[in-house]
A and B are shown apart, each in its own frame.
Chain A
C-alpha cells in the first residue's frame, strides 16, 4: 500500500501478513468511509500474488472471524438471559415480601385488605386520605412496579431464548430453558453436564441430603415445573423426569456445539412420555 494512505483508506489486510492473527481484529475493528478496489490494492501492495490468492485469504479470514465472533456474541447472550431470569426471581420474591407488608398495614386502616400482589394492586389504586395512607399507597405502587418489571423481564427472556438455545427452548419453554442455563452457569456448562445432573439441577439441597445418607435421592429438580413431569402420575414421575432430562441434555448440546434445529427431538420426547404415562392406565 502507499505510505500516504490515511487510516480511512486502508483495507483490512494493510497491517498484517497473510496467515497471522491480525486478520480477525482488522476485519472486526477496521473502518473505512468508502469501498476501494481492495483486491487490486492487495496485489499491488504485495499482500497476495494474484486476485485469486487474495480471495482465498479473504475467504479464510472472513469465515474464521465470522464463526468466532458469532459464537462469542451468542455466549454473551446466554449470560444476559441468565441475569434476567435471576432478576425475575428477585423481583417476584421482593414483590411478594413487600405485598405482605402492604396487606398487613392495609388491614390496620381498612376493613377489607386483600393479600398478595393482587391486593397490592388494589391498595395502589386507592385515594389516600392521610399521611399514613399516602405512604401505604406509595409502597403498594412499588409492588406493582416490581411485578410489572418481572413481567417485562419474562418477556425479554421469552424473546431471547429461542435465539440463544433454539432446541432447548422448543422442548422446555423459554423460562425453564433459561433457568436451566442459569443453574448450570451458562449454555456451555449445561451442554457439558450429564443428563443425571440436568435431571436434579435446582434440587441441590435434596441431592446433598441424599449423598450424606438417609434421604431418598431426588427424582427431579427445576424440570418438575415442566408439564411432562408435573402432570405424570407420581409413580412414573421419575421415569418422565429421566426421559425429559435426557432430551434436554441432547438439545443443549446441539444448541451449543452445532446450532442446528432438530424438530424431531420434541416428537421423540412426546412419544416417550406417552409410553411412560400409558404404563399406568394398563
Chain B
C-alpha cells in the first residue's frame, strides 16, 4: 500500500513515523513544517500504519464525522482537499476551530452526525467519509451519511465496540455493525486496530 501524497514516513525527535505538512497543533513533535501523526491518538493514522487499503491518494474532498478536537482531521486537511469536519460537542469544537483557523479548506460544523439533513446544505458530495464517532449506533451514522459519497467514494470507519455496549463481546458487536453496513456499503477490508487502539475495528468500504 502506498501512502497518500502529502503523508510521509519521517524521523522526528529520534523516532520514525507518519507525518504531514501543516501548522503545528498543540505541542506535538515537529520537524520544520512536518508534524508527527501519532497512530496511538488517531484511528485513521493507525489504519495507515497497519496498511489498510484506504485508497487515499491526496487532495480528496472529505467529510469527517466525529472530528473531536481536530487531532486527526488536522492531518487529513494537511493532505486532502476541502475537508468538512462535523463535531457535536461544544468543548472539543473550540479546539477544532483553532485548528481550522490555520487551515483554509477545513470547515468546522457544530452538527449532530446522526442528522445529515442539518448539514447537507453546506457539505458537497465527497470522495471520502472518515467516521470516528463514539456514540451508539455507529452503523446507522455511516448509513445515513452514505448520501454524501460520490459514486466511487470510500468510507473509512473506525468502530469502537465500547460505545455500542461495554458488556458485550467486541467481536459480536463488530459482526453486527458490519452486517448493518451492508445495506449501503460493500466492505473491502475490516480489521482490528491493535496494537494502537484496543477494541476498535477499522473498516474500508465503498457504496454498493
- Chain A 22-72 residues near chain B, CB threshold 8 A: 26-27, 30-39, 55-56, 58-59, 62-63, 65-67, 69-71
Whether A56 and B104, one on each chain, are in contact in the complex, defined by CB atoms closer than 8 angstroms, is: yes
Classify chain B: how many residues form its interface, as a range. 20 to 34
Whether A70 and B94, one on each chain, are in contact in the complex, defined by CB atoms closer than 8 angstroms, is: yes
- Chain B 19-38 residues near chain A, CB threshold 8 A: none
Given contacts A32-B117, A62-B107, contact A67 B91 (CB under 8 A): no
**Residue in contact with B108 in the complex, picked from A12, A34, A63, A73, CB distance below 8 Å:** A63
Which chain B residues border A27 with CB–CB below 8 Å? 109, 122
Given contacts A70-B97, A259-B95, contact A11 B105 (CB under 8 A): no
Q: Does B45 contact A (CB under 8 A)?
A: no
Q: Does A119 contact B (CB under 8 A)?
A: no
Whether B82 and A12, one on each chain, are in contact in the complex, defined by CB atoms closer than 8 angstroms, is: no
Number of A-B contacts (CB under 8 A): 95
Q: Does A74 contact B (CB under 8 A)?
A: yes
Q: Does B148 contact A (CB under 8 A)?
A: yes
A226 CA / B64 CA spacing, docked (Å)? 42
In the assembled complex, the CB of B146 is this many whole angstroms from the nearest CB of chain A, namely: 11
Which chain A residues border B124 with CB–CB below 8 Å? 35-39
Q: Does A166 contact B (CB under 8 A)?
A: yes
A67 CA / B98 CA spacing, docked (Å)? 9
- Choose among A35, A36, A37, A70 the residue with the greatest number of B CB atoms under 10 Å from its CB: A35
Whether A65 and B147, one on each chain, are in contact in the complex, defined by CB atoms closer than 8 angstroms, is: no
In the assembled complex, the CB of B118 is this many whole angstroms from the nearest CB of chain A, namely: 6
A280 CA / B104 CA spacing, docked (Å)? 57
Whether A69 and B95, one on each chain, are in contact in the complex, defined by CB atoms closer than 8 angstroms, is: no
Which chain B residues border A272 with CB–CB below 8 Å? none
In the assembled complex, the CB of B121 is this many whole angstroms from the nearest CB of chain A, namely: 4
Whether B96 and A66, one on each chain, are in contact in the complex, defined by CB atoms closer than 8 angstroms, is: yes
Whether B96 and A38, one on each chain, are in contact in the complex, defined by CB atoms closer than 8 angstroms, is: no
- Flag A76-94 by CB within 8 Å of B: 1 or 0 each: 0100000000000000000
**Residue in contact with A30 in the complex, picked from B93, B96, B97, B122, CB distance below 8 Å:** B122
**Residue in contact with A65 in the complex, picked from B96, B110, B120, CB distance below 8 Å:** B110
Whether B94 and A31, one on each chain, are in contact in the complex, defined by CB atoms closer than 8 angstroms, is: no
Which chain B residues border A101 with CB–CB below 8 Å? none
**Residue in contact with A12 in the complex, picked from B89, B95, B117, B122, CB distance below 8 Å:** B122
**Residue in contact with A74 in the complex, picked from B91, B109, B123, B126, CB distance below 8 Å:** B91
In the assembled complex, the CB of B116 is this many whole angstroms from the nearest CB of chain A, namely: 8
Whether A34 and B122, one on each chain, are in contact in the complex, defined by CB atoms closer than 8 angstroms, is: no
A32 CA / B125 CA spacing, docked (Å)? 13
Q: Does A154 contact B (CB under 8 A)?
A: no
Given contacts A55-B82, A63-B97, A67-B94, contact A11 B107 (CB under 8 A): no
Q: Does B90 contact A (CB under 8 A)?
A: yes
A27 CA / B125 CA spacing, docked (Å)? 17
- Chain B 55-103 residues near chain A, CB threshold 8 A: 82, 89-91, 93-97, 100-101
In the assembled complex, the CB of A69 is this many whole angstroms from the nearest CB of chain B, namely: 5
Which chain B residues border A74 with CB–CB below 8 Å? 90-91, 94
Ranked nearest first, the 7 interchain pairs of A and B with the lowest CB-CB distance are: A32-B121, A70-B93, A70-B90, A32-B120, A73-B90, A66-B108, A30-B121
Chain A residues within 8 Å of B, Cβ to Cβ = 10-12, 26-27, 30-39, 55-56, 58-59, 62-63, 65-67, 69-71, 73-74, 77, 163, 166, 259
- Pick 23 A–B contacts, CB within 8 A, sort by A: A26-B121, A30-B118, A30-B122, A32-B121, A33-B120, A35-B120, A35-B148, A37-B124, A38-B121, A55-B104, A56-B104, A59-B104, A62-B122, A66-B108, A66-B110, A69-B93, A70-B97, A73-B90, A74-B90, A74-B94, A163-B91, A166-B91, A259-B94
